[in-house]
Structures are given as C-alpha cells and as structure tokens.
Amino acid sequence: MFNKILIANRGEIAVRIIRACKELGVSTVAVYSDADRRSLHVALADEAYHIGGSAPGESYLVIDKILDVAKKSGAEAIHPGFGFLSENEEFAKRCEKAKIVFIGPSAKAIRLMGDKITARKIAHEAKVPLVPGSEGAVSDVEASVVVDEIGYPVMIKASAGGGGKGMRLVREKGEFESALRMARSEAGSAFGDDSVFVEKFVEQPRHIEIQIIADSYGNVIHLFERECSIQRRHQKVIEEAPSSAISDRTRKKMGAVAVKIAKAVDYQGAGTVEFIMDQKQNFFFLEMNTRVQVEHPVTEMITGFDIVKWMIRIADGEKLPFKQSQIEMKGHAVECRVYAEDPETNFMPSPGTIDYLRVPSGPGIRDDSSIYSGCEITPHYDPMLSKLVVWADTREAAIEKMASALREYIVIGLKTNIGFLLRVMGEEEFKEGKIDTGYIERHPELLKPGDIDIEPVLIAAALAMNNADSVESGEQRPASNWKLYGRKLGLSGGQVL
C-alpha cells in the first residue's frame, strides 16, 4: 500500500478521501487556497500546503503547483476527487511523467470518454443504444439539417465538459438559432471549446447511471444503478439507489452495457456510465464520468462496497477479489445534496458564515461534509455544504428517515435548500416514484417555504449558541413563541413547533 497520498481537491470529497486513507493506514497531504486556510480537510490531513489564491485558476486547477507539493511532500500518489482536475487528461499525463500514481483511469481513457462525441462513437461501435442525433460536432448549418431530420424537441450539448454547462433544450424551430448561439457561447466560456452536437430530446426522461469498478487485470464489475432524476439546471439534487423505475431485467441489461463500455476503453478504477431512460424503460447512453461521483455514497450504502478505498487499492495494483455474481444490493438509500442556496430565487448561491450547525445522526444516517460552526462558505466554489444520506429496508422507509433527518438538520447564518428538500420528501409524486428530470419544473410550489417541524431542543441550542436575544441565563421560553424565534433566526419554513 502507498505510504502517502496527496488529495488534489477540497471540501467534503477531500475529507472523504482523507478518512479512507486513514483507515488504510496511509498518510495524507492536503492542498489549500487562501479561502480554505481554515477548512476541515486542512485540519484532518497529516500535512497541508498552501497553493495560491482563492480562485480555482490560481490554486486547485494549477497542475504545476499540485505536482510541486507532491514532490516536496514525498507523496507517491494523487487522488483528484471530483471536479477540478479529476477528468483532466493533461494532469493524468503529468502525474505519470512525474512517476506519481494518478488514482483514476489512464489519460487515454479520460480523453476517449471525456469528449462526448468520441464517447458516442465508442458506444456506437460497441453497439450500445444511443439517442438519435448528430454523429459528431456540427456546424450551425449541419445542426439545422440534423434537427430537421430527427424532429423537435432536441437537446443541444457541449461536446466537452458537463454539469449542465452548454446545454439547451429546444422545442420549436424558431428557438433553435438563438439556443445554439447561447450553447456555443457557454461551452466556450466553461471549457474553452465551443463545439456542440445535437440529439433528440427524450420526453419525461429519467437519469439512470451505473457504477462500475475495474482493476488493471481486465476485471470489471458494476455496482447496480443510481436514480438521479431530481435535478435543477441539469445538476443533480437528490439521488437514490436502486431506482424504483426499472425491472431486474433492465437492471441486468444496463449493467452489462456499462461493463462493455468500460472494457472498450480499458478502464481502470471507479467510473460511472450514465443513461437516459424513457417511460417504457428504453435506455440510451449519455456519457461516462471518469471519476468518483458526488452521489457514490448511495451505492456504498446498498452494497457495503467502499468505492474510495477500492480506487486506492486498484491504483496500488490490487486485483478485484469479487465476481459480478457475488455483488448484492440490500435495502434502499437516498441522498440529498444540502446547498447554501435559495430555492426561492432560482437556487441562487447564498455564501456566508455558518453561525450554528446541528447535523442529524442515528442508525442508517450518514452526513458527508466539511462544514462546522463558524466556517465560511465563500463564493469561490460550488455551494454544496454536505451530502445527507440515509439507508432503510424499503424506499418508503428511506424517504421517511430522510424527512426525519432533514428536520434535525439546522444551519444558521445563511440560506439553505433544506426546507425544499424536506418538501420534496413529502410530495406525493416523489413518494410514488413518479419522477423525471423535469420534476422540479413541474412542482414550483416546492420552492416556496412551507411548514417545517424542527425539534424545540435544537432551536433552544441555536438560540443559546448565537445569543439571538437577551434572555437571562436559565429563563425558559413558552412553546407558543418558537415560531417567532425560528423566524428571527432566519429559518426557512413557517411553522416551528
């Protein structure tokens, strides 16, 4: 096993990797920007090195700075986490040149699957089902021709990158020209590449993905699927495993296709093959993410498989000791991404300082985060605060447990989406599994504050911690005033019992 690993990331994923390393007996090296001097991942790592300014382009995206720290600290390997340089072909190449192990797939695999057009070609050659559309990047004229052939609605997509950037849904011909122009502009700004392709838009699609793990000896297994259909701005908000929408037959077919794609690029490590599925369980290849996913905990909860540890073990040369037939799933897991954002203003980020934090706990509850009372959430990075994950025997029980956990989750000092998440857990279509990627748009009522029950003892603790009023020590407040104090603290939701 490696003696020392550098984590080229920040936030909750850096904390997650550090904890996995500690359990494996591996020393850890953190890197941090100006804004992250007091971050939890810096405190937990065995060593920490400053690498520049708060902007990612001055720190976490600078390959030379990260490799310099790796050499200086004597780190034998680098785990990139997700985002930043995790799917950067050049970074993987530079690590190899520096004789530092990149904990992930080869630079070639990153290149082949990182470009959506190339990935579609590989999927086509492997006879994997694809959404009808252009075979590659298209000019404006070619795009118009393809769209006339496949018909509306269509989706314009950036050929590089992801995360909803450079994507536009077009339902009518009159909207196409301006949507194409905006998609190119956004893609060029986000990825330095304004090439796009077009494909048929699947109505009421569900976003289903398959987790795969591959070693360097040609062994590839899948860890079943995740349902990721609850999205805002094409970005996932709530995930669960398994999906309530697919049969065992479809699950087996999807898993086999995901393994086939991984083998086609000689994949190594953890990866995710993403599909779009219609209401009749017809599924089509979307893309492959060549890194650990944000939502990997739901898969870990239903399989007992530690994905991050196995990424490290595989990079160290270990062989997978499991066969596909030995992998089983048990129960149901749900993950909610807790963001510092305001659902009422189109999920605008809400940076600030966390004055008080109370995290839920109990059997089957997991909170992956890097936040604490007093920490600052800056505007420089993604506003995700944590990933709250629950497990139970059934989907119904998991939803109930998640609702209970969200009621215990208190973040004071900035706005969060906790109230929104709680309202989703209580919405009938969600509880019945009638979801797709347009779910949030269909339910604008969920964006407005409703009745949220929060335990009085937690409100009392928050009041005490924040000196919210001038109550003398020992004085008790009547229950009828909890609502007033909840509003005073800026809690979303109308009713506080």
CATH number, domain with residue 160? 3.30.1490.20
Of 212, 235, 250, the closest CA to residue 113 belongs to: 212
The pLDDT assigned to 462 comes to 56
- pLDDT band of 448, cuts 50, 70, 90: confident
Instruction: For residue 102, give the nearest of 262, 266, 319, 291 by alpha carbon.
Output: 291
Secondary structure (H, E, C), 444-487: HHHHCCCCCCCCHHHHHHHHHHHCCCCCCCCCCCCHHHHHHHHH
Residue 294 belongs to some domain of the structure: yes
Whether residues 184 and 216 fall in one domain: no
Residue 120 included in any domain: no
Residue 123 lies in a domain: no
Any idea which of 135-149, 183-197, 480-494 has the lowest mean pLDDT? 480-494
**What mean pLDDT is predicted for residues 90-94?**
98
Residue 81 has pLDDT above 50, yes or no: yes
Domain that holds residue 384: 206-447
Q: How far apart are CA 495 and CA 482, in angstroms?
A: 8
What is the pTM assigned to this prediction? Answer: 0.86
Same domain flag for 262 and 288: yes
Whether residue 118 is contained in a domain is answered as no
DSSP state of 160: B
One-letter identity of residue 365: I
Instruction: Give the CATH number for residue 47.
Output: 3.40.50.20
Q: What per-residue confidence (pLDDT) applies to 477?
A: 43
Query: 419 with 467, same domain?
Result: no
The catalytic residue positions are 291
Of 200, 227, 242, which residue is a domain's last? 200
Residue 110 lies in a domain: no
* Residue 381 domain-assigned (yes or no): yes
Asked whether residue 210 falls in the same domain as residue 188, the answer is no
Residue 492 has pLDDT above 50, yes or no: no
The conformation of residue 69, written as its DSSP 8-state character, comes to H
Residue type present at position 384: M
**Four-residue CA torsion sign, 483, 415, 458, 38:** negative
Q: Is the separation of the CB atoms in 371 and 388 below 8 Å? A: no
State the Cα–Cα distance between residues 474 and 84, nearest whole angstrom: 49
Same domain membership, residue 222 and residue 181: no
Q: Which of 343-347, 396-400, 481-485 bottoms out in mean pLDDT, i.e. has the lowest?
A: 481-485
114 within some domain: no
**For the chain, what is the domain count?**
4
Residues 248 and 231 in one domain: yes
Distance CA 273, CA 212 (A): 8
How far is Cα 24 from Cα 15, in angstroms, rounded to an integer? 14
pLDDT at 451: 60
CB contact at 8 A, 477 and 485: yes
* Spatial contact of 413 and 353, defined as CB atoms under 8 Å apart: yes
Does one domain contain both 383 and 240?
yes
Q: How far apart are CA 235 and CA 401, in angstroms?
A: 24
Q: Do 366 and 228 have their domain in common? A: yes
Domain harbouring 229, CATH code: 3.30.470.20
- Residue 194: count of CB within 10 angstroms of its CB: 18
What length does the chain have? Answer: 497
List, for residues 218-247, the tens digit of each pLDDT value: 999 999 999 999 999 889 999 999 999 999
Domain boundary among 103, 120, 149: 103
The percent of residues in the chain predicted with pLDDT above 70, rounded, is 90
Contact 214, 220 (CB under 8 A): yes
Band of pLDDT at residue 189, cut at 50, 70 and 90: confident
Q: Exposure pattern of 475-485 as b/e (b: 16+ CB <10 Å)?
A: eeeeeeebbeb
Q: Are residues 351 and 443 in the same domain?
A: yes
Cβ(417)–Cβ(338) below 8 Å: yes
HSE, side-chain direction, 13 A CA sphere, residue 113: 28
Residues 44, 161: one domain? no
Residue 263 included in any domain: yes
**Quick one: 377 and 279 in the same domain?**
yes
Whether 415 and 286 map to the same domain: the answer is yes
Q: Which two tokens stand for residue 355?
A: 């004055």
Asked which of 175, 200, 225 is the last residue of a domain, the reply is 200
User: For residue 341, what pLDDT is reported?
Assistant: 96
